[in-house]
Structure 1
Amino acid sequence: MPPTNSPTLRQRRLGTELRKLRERAGLSSTAAAARFGFQQTRMSMIEAGRYAVSADRVRVMARSYSCLDDKLVDALAAMTGRRKRGWWDEYREHLPVGFADLAELEHHACGIRACLVIHIPGLLQTLDHARAVIQGAAPPLHAFEVEHRLSHRMKRQAILYSDNPVPYTATIHEAALRMEFGGTATARGQLKHLIEMSEMGNVTIRVIPFAGGGTFPGTGQSFDYVLGPVQQLDTVQLDAAPGCQCADADAELAKYRAVVDRMELSSLDPAKSRDFIHGLLRSL
């Protein structure tokens, strides 16, 4: 299989995990390449996600690295093969690469736990709300750039409506609910949409009210904790203007799991959160 200069997020993650297994086995890249009978440059490309490997090759590598976690090995084997084109690839020429990575990450997610303080989650935004947020970007975007980003954001939401929808929990601070992007009418439509979405079986919305008392972890930071098929393949997607910025080191995953756990504990339960949003809607 020829190498690629533009590996997908999934291909890069597979390479990263294979590198982690090699390093835990105490092998250098050169020594591992010699063990498998190929040049070190090929090993480097595999670990950078630039050289596709088969499921059988992954299993051989994992066994050679003394990895005894069968569930992890099975999950890594499922990530192999040639690059498969997704709908998000059509946006790669029009948007920063991080936007395509974000859509790919969400597409393959086994679950998502979102925590937001200032913004409504993109997966829960109405068309009017999303347009107002995108139009407020700095520096200002051209009209065609706004439309590309808007179309991309709306298509991302399909993961919540598919035949096998992604389980999604959004913990949203009251500050985000009170931001009237696009004016009062748009804000009312957005709150109504959140109430409707909260009634879907795969969507849970939790609110952290101003009157919650005290501080909570992650103050001021928005992120998604994206669940993989096994915990080692979880990913933290950090909210950033350029698009998708991901963290997947073991220590970082543990830290953000603790943060999202505590933020959810600081929030109202789903039923009380829905009532809270109803109250905000009535006040507009």
Structure 2
Amino acid sequence: MAESPTVRRRHVGAELRRLRESAGVDRESAAELLDCSLSKITKIELGNVAVKRAELEKLLECYSAPAELSASLLVIAAEAKKRGWWSRYGKAVPDWFRTFVGLESAACEMRVYEAELITGVLQTEAYTRAVIAAVSPELAEEQVERLVRVRAERQARLLSGDPQRLNLIMSEAAVRRMVGGPAIMREQLAFLVAVQRRPNVTIQVLPFRSGAHAAIGFTFTMLRFPDEPAPTLVYLEDLTSAAYLDEAADLDVYKLTFDRLQALALGPAESVAVIERAVSEF
């Protein structure tokens, strides 16, 4: 994970934000300095986009960054322009989703709440194909194959020898919803039971009987990165775009919401029992 260009961009962005705040410079002034939009400054500090060398030099000078730190950040920023593993799949990964794939690859922990479907990183190939067929039936077979391979590689990275931590809470609806047919559902749910045995994966089911809860109508992902004690980014997604939240007030809301969901959800052992019972019912 340390070699990901996203890690490098996040490091540069975090340092720029720290330097800016220490210098008492607001984002509006930084945007004026670069003659760019306020959203670009936000994206640079989040690590969502790479910063050009000339822009970085201007910001470092404005923030009165120490010479040694400036030199280090210039080197890291140059390395951050290298492409990530997902780039080889071309347009199969939409531009708005590439940022998340990079951030996911860089994260050491994911906290996910899923309301409707099995979360993407734990989907079997057949389940993934069934979801794609329902959401984007117009896609050519070649595009479908690339999407399936991207999802498979994301899963392989989660379950590799240097694993991330995944804490997944999913609605019982995701377990019960028929996707692709009984055989596909049995395979998918059996896979969840097997994955749950891994030390880096925790799956909890939020049962129907829990009633109204703090995340009704929402699905979200929280990401924690190396050397950070808690999640520092929230990812929200719709059909054609995504949003990233990193303000302390937003993070506090989502952390509290996830904690409340955990308190309502079944424990891991009870959750496995629900999943195994669903397997027998399909």
TM-score range, shorter chain: 0.7 to 0.9
C-alpha displacement of 1:190 = 0.7
Is 1:273 matched with 2:266? no
Superposed CA offset, 1:169-198 (max 9, x none) = 110100011111100110111110110010
Quote the residue 1:178 is aligned against.
176
Quote the residue 2:146 is aligned against.
148
Q: What 5-or-longer segments of structure 1 have no aligned partner? A: 1-6, 34-38, 66-75
Is 1:190 matched with 2:188? yes
Quote the residue 1:136 is aligned against.
134
Quote the residue 1:211 is aligned against.
209
Provide TM-score, normalisation by structure 1. Answer: 0.78
Change (3 A) 1:261 1:130: same
Q: Report the secondary structure of 2:20's partner residue.
A: helix
For the aligned residue pairs, the C-alpha RMSD in angstroms reads 3.7
Change (3 A) 1:261 1:80: farther
On the 8 A contact 1:132/1:182 being kept in 2, the answer is yes
d(CA) in 1 for partners of 2:248, 2:166: 22
C-alpha displacement of 1:235 = 1.2
Q: Report the secondary structure of 2:24's partner residue.
A: coil
Quote the residue 2:113 is aligned against.
115
Q: What 5-or-longer segments of structure 2 have no aligned partner? A: 67-72
Q: Report the secondary structure of 2:139's partner residue.
A: coil
Superposed CA offset, 1:220-265 (max 9, x none) = 2111111123258721111322354322222211111111111111
Change (3 A) 1:242 1:178: same
Within 5 A, what are the aligned runs for 1:34-113? 40-41=33-34, 49-52=50-53, 80-82=77-79, 83-113=81-111
d(CA) in 2 for partners of 1:118, 1:92: 28
C-alpha displacement of 1:141 = 2.0
1:22 to 20, 33, 45: 20
Moved more, 185-194 or 100-109: 100-109
Runs of 4+ in 1 over 4 A off after TM superposition: 7-10, 28-33, 42-48, 57-65, 76-81
Moved more, 230-239 or 9-18: 9-18
d(CA) in 1 for partners of 2:29, 2:63: 15
On the 8 A contact 1:232/1:250 being kept in 2, the answer is no
Superposed CA offset, 1:7-51 (max 9, x none) = 969637843762465246422579889xxxxx9339988766322
Residues matched between the structures, number: 261
Change (3 A) 1:124 1:79: farther
Change (3 A) 1:188 1:282: same
Is 1:222 matched with 2:222? no
Superposed CA offset, 1:102-144 (max 9, x none) = 2211111010011001010011100000000011114732222
Q: Report the secondary structure of 2:149's partner residue.
A: helix
**Which structure has the highest helix share of the two?**
2
Quote the residue 2:70 is aligned against.
none
